[in-house]
Amino acid sequence: MISTEVGRCWWALGDPLLTEYHDSEWGQPTSSETHLFEMLTLEGFQAGLSWLTILRKRSAFRAAFAGFDPRSVAAFDDADRARLMTDAGIVRNRAKIDATIGNAAAFLAVAQHAGSFAALLAERFPPPPRRLPATAGSGSLPATTPESDALSKELKKLGFRFVGSTIVYSFMQATGLVDDHVPGCFRYVGGGS
Protein backbone atom coordinates (compact mmCIF):
# COMPACT_ATOMS: atom_id res chain seq x y z
CA MET A 1 0.00 0.00 0.00
CA ILE A 2 2.33 2.69 -1.22
CA SER A 3 1.27 6.09 -2.51
CA THR A 4 1.39 6.37 -6.29
CA GLU A 5 2.76 9.94 -6.17
CA VAL A 6 5.83 9.46 -3.99
CA GLY A 7 6.31 6.03 -2.52
CA ARG A 8 5.81 6.10 1.23
CA CYS A 9 5.00 3.63 3.95
CA TRP A 10 1.22 3.12 4.09
CA TRP A 11 0.83 4.58 7.61
CA ALA A 12 2.32 7.94 6.57
CA LEU A 13 -0.52 8.74 4.19
CA GLY A 14 -3.66 10.71 4.92
CA ASP A 15 -2.38 13.47 7.20
CA PRO A 16 0.41 16.02 6.64
CA LEU A 17 1.77 15.54 10.19
CA LEU A 18 2.22 11.82 9.61
CA THR A 19 3.80 12.43 6.22
CA GLU A 20 6.24 15.02 7.59
CA TYR A 21 7.16 12.79 10.54
CA HIS A 22 7.72 9.83 8.20
CA ASP A 23 9.72 11.82 5.66
CA SER A 24 11.99 13.70 8.04
CA GLU A 25 12.30 11.72 11.25
CA TRP A 26 10.96 8.17 11.50
CA GLY A 27 13.68 5.56 11.21
CA GLN A 28 16.53 8.05 11.31
CA PRO A 29 19.29 6.92 13.70
CA THR A 30 19.87 9.36 16.53
CA SER A 31 22.27 9.65 19.42
CA SER A 32 20.63 12.76 20.88
CA GLU A 33 19.84 12.02 24.51
CA THR A 34 16.99 14.54 24.50
CA HIS A 35 15.45 13.04 21.37
CA LEU A 36 15.79 9.50 22.69
CA PHE A 37 14.07 10.48 25.94
CA GLU A 38 11.38 12.34 24.01
CA MET A 39 10.61 9.37 21.78
CA LEU A 40 10.60 6.88 24.66
CA THR A 41 8.19 9.18 26.51
CA LEU A 42 5.91 9.85 23.54
CA GLU A 43 5.74 6.17 22.63
CA GLY A 44 4.65 5.45 26.20
CA PHE A 45 1.99 8.15 26.07
CA GLN A 46 0.79 6.79 22.72
CA ALA A 47 -0.21 3.43 24.26
CA GLY A 48 -3.94 3.04 23.63
CA LEU A 49 -4.06 6.10 21.35
CA SER A 50 -3.12 6.89 17.77
CA TRP A 51 0.31 8.23 16.87
CA LEU A 52 -1.42 11.11 15.08
CA THR A 53 -2.97 12.18 18.40
CA ILE A 54 0.51 12.32 19.93
CA LEU A 55 1.99 14.22 16.98
CA ARG A 56 -0.77 16.82 17.26
CA LYS A 57 0.12 17.31 20.93
CA ARG A 58 3.88 17.09 20.52
CA SER A 59 4.65 20.79 20.95
CA ALA A 60 2.50 20.89 24.09
CA PHE A 61 4.33 17.81 25.41
CA ARG A 62 7.66 19.52 24.77
CA ALA A 63 6.55 22.61 26.68
CA ALA A 64 5.03 20.59 29.53
CA PHE A 65 8.05 18.32 29.94
CA ALA A 66 10.83 20.95 29.81
CA GLY A 67 11.85 20.15 26.24
CA PHE A 68 12.32 16.53 27.33
CA ASP A 69 15.47 17.38 29.23
CA PRO A 70 15.81 14.29 31.47
CA ARG A 71 17.51 16.22 34.30
CA SER A 72 14.67 18.73 34.47
CA VAL A 73 11.96 16.07 34.27
CA ALA A 74 13.62 13.90 36.94
CA ALA A 75 13.38 16.90 39.30
CA PHE A 76 9.60 17.32 38.79
CA ASP A 77 7.68 17.33 42.07
CA ASP A 78 4.06 17.11 43.19
CA ALA A 79 3.37 20.65 41.96
CA ASP A 80 4.62 19.63 38.50
CA ARG A 81 2.44 16.52 38.59
CA ALA A 82 -0.59 18.66 39.45
CA ARG A 83 0.31 21.11 36.65
CA LEU A 84 0.58 18.29 34.14
CA MET A 85 -2.76 16.79 35.18
CA THR A 86 -4.46 20.10 34.33
CA ASP A 87 -2.63 20.64 31.02
CA ALA A 88 -5.24 20.04 28.30
CA GLY A 89 -2.52 20.16 25.65
CA ILE A 90 -1.11 16.77 26.64
CA VAL A 91 -2.52 13.36 27.44
CA ARG A 92 -3.49 13.67 31.10
CA ASN A 93 -2.86 10.21 32.45
CA ARG A 94 -1.44 10.10 35.98
CA ALA A 95 0.26 6.71 35.52
CA LYS A 96 2.00 7.88 32.33
CA ILE A 97 3.01 11.19 33.90
CA ASP A 98 4.44 9.42 36.96
CA ALA A 99 6.21 6.92 34.69
CA THR A 100 7.78 9.73 32.67
CA ILE A 101 9.20 11.38 35.79
CA GLY A 102 10.51 8.05 37.04
CA ASN A 103 11.84 7.18 33.59
CA ALA A 104 13.81 10.42 33.53
CA ALA A 105 15.61 9.33 36.71
CA ALA A 106 16.20 5.85 35.27
CA PHE A 107 17.42 7.41 32.01
CA LEU A 108 19.98 9.50 33.92
CA ALA A 109 21.12 6.46 35.91
CA VAL A 110 21.69 4.51 32.69
CA ALA A 111 23.55 7.46 31.17
CA GLN A 112 25.77 7.72 34.24
CA HIS A 113 26.57 4.00 34.15
CA ALA A 114 26.91 3.53 30.37
CA GLY A 115 28.19 7.00 29.44
CA SER A 116 24.90 7.80 27.71
CA PHE A 117 21.57 6.17 26.99
CA ALA A 118 22.58 6.18 23.31
CA ALA A 119 25.71 4.16 24.22
CA LEU A 120 23.58 1.49 25.90
CA LEU A 121 21.43 1.27 22.76
CA ALA A 122 24.43 1.24 20.39
CA GLU A 123 25.92 -1.66 22.33
CA ARG A 124 22.74 -3.68 21.83
CA PHE A 125 21.92 -2.48 18.29
CA PRO A 126 25.17 -1.71 16.47
CA PRO A 127 24.81 0.03 13.11
CA PRO A 128 23.72 -0.45 10.47
CA PRO A 129 20.12 -1.03 11.54
CA ARG A 130 18.31 -4.18 10.52
CA ARG A 131 16.25 -3.48 7.41
CA LEU A 132 13.24 -5.19 5.94
CA PRO A 133 14.01 -7.59 3.09
CA ALA A 134 13.05 -6.45 -0.40
CA THR A 135 10.31 -9.10 -0.43
CA ALA A 136 8.56 -7.60 2.62
CA GLY A 137 5.09 -6.16 2.20
CA SER A 138 3.31 -3.50 4.25
CA GLY A 139 1.79 -6.23 6.39
CA SER A 140 5.26 -7.49 7.31
CA LEU A 141 5.92 -4.96 10.07
CA PRO A 142 6.02 -6.74 13.41
CA ALA A 143 4.55 -5.29 16.59
CA THR A 144 7.32 -6.88 18.66
CA THR A 145 10.52 -8.81 18.05
CA PRO A 146 12.80 -10.90 20.25
CA GLU A 147 15.06 -7.83 20.38
CA SER A 148 12.27 -5.56 21.62
CA ASP A 149 11.27 -8.23 24.13
CA ALA A 150 14.84 -8.28 25.48
CA LEU A 151 15.20 -4.48 25.57
CA SER A 152 11.81 -4.12 27.25
CA LYS A 153 12.83 -6.62 29.92
CA GLU A 154 16.16 -4.87 30.45
CA LEU A 155 14.58 -1.40 30.71
CA LYS A 156 12.08 -2.68 33.27
CA LYS A 157 14.95 -4.09 35.35
CA LEU A 158 16.58 -0.66 35.15
CA GLY A 159 13.46 0.96 36.62
CA PHE A 160 11.62 2.14 33.50
CA ARG A 161 7.83 1.89 33.21
CA PHE A 162 5.51 1.94 30.18
CA VAL A 163 8.18 0.09 28.23
CA GLY A 164 6.38 -3.04 27.13
CA SER A 165 7.72 -4.80 24.06
CA THR A 166 5.26 -3.12 21.66
CA ILE A 167 6.14 0.35 22.95
CA VAL A 168 9.83 -0.49 22.83
CA TYR A 169 9.59 -1.76 19.25
CA SER A 170 7.84 1.45 18.19
CA PHE A 171 10.64 3.37 19.91
CA MET A 172 13.22 1.26 18.04
CA GLN A 173 11.49 2.07 14.73
CA ALA A 174 11.19 5.76 15.54
CA THR A 175 14.84 6.19 16.51
CA GLY A 176 16.41 4.14 13.73
CA LEU A 177 17.49 1.16 15.81
CA VAL A 178 15.65 -0.78 13.11
CA ASP A 179 14.66 0.50 9.68
CA ASP A 180 11.15 -0.62 8.82
CA HIS A 181 10.51 1.53 5.76
CA VAL A 182 8.80 -0.83 3.35
CA PRO A 183 9.99 -1.64 -0.17
CA GLY A 184 8.54 0.98 -2.51
CA CYS A 185 8.95 3.75 0.06
CA PHE A 186 11.36 6.45 -1.08
CA ARG A 187 13.15 6.05 2.27
CA TYR A 188 13.64 2.31 1.80
CA VAL A 189 17.36 1.66 1.73
CA GLY A 190 17.67 -1.94 2.22
CA GLY A 191 17.10 -5.46 1.56
CA GLY A 192 19.17 -7.13 4.22
CA SER A 193 18.57 -8.20 7.75
User: What are the catalytic residues?
Assistant: 21, 43, 51
Query: What is the DSSP annotation of 134-150?
Result: TT--GGG--S--HHHHH
Nearest residue to 171 (alpha-carbon basis) of 112, 91, 88, 107: 107
| E-assigned strand segments in the chain | 130-131, 178-179
> Using CA atoms, how far apart are residues 135 and 118, in angstroms rounded to an integer?
31
> Using CA atoms, how far apart are residues 184 and 176, in angstroms rounded to an integer?
18
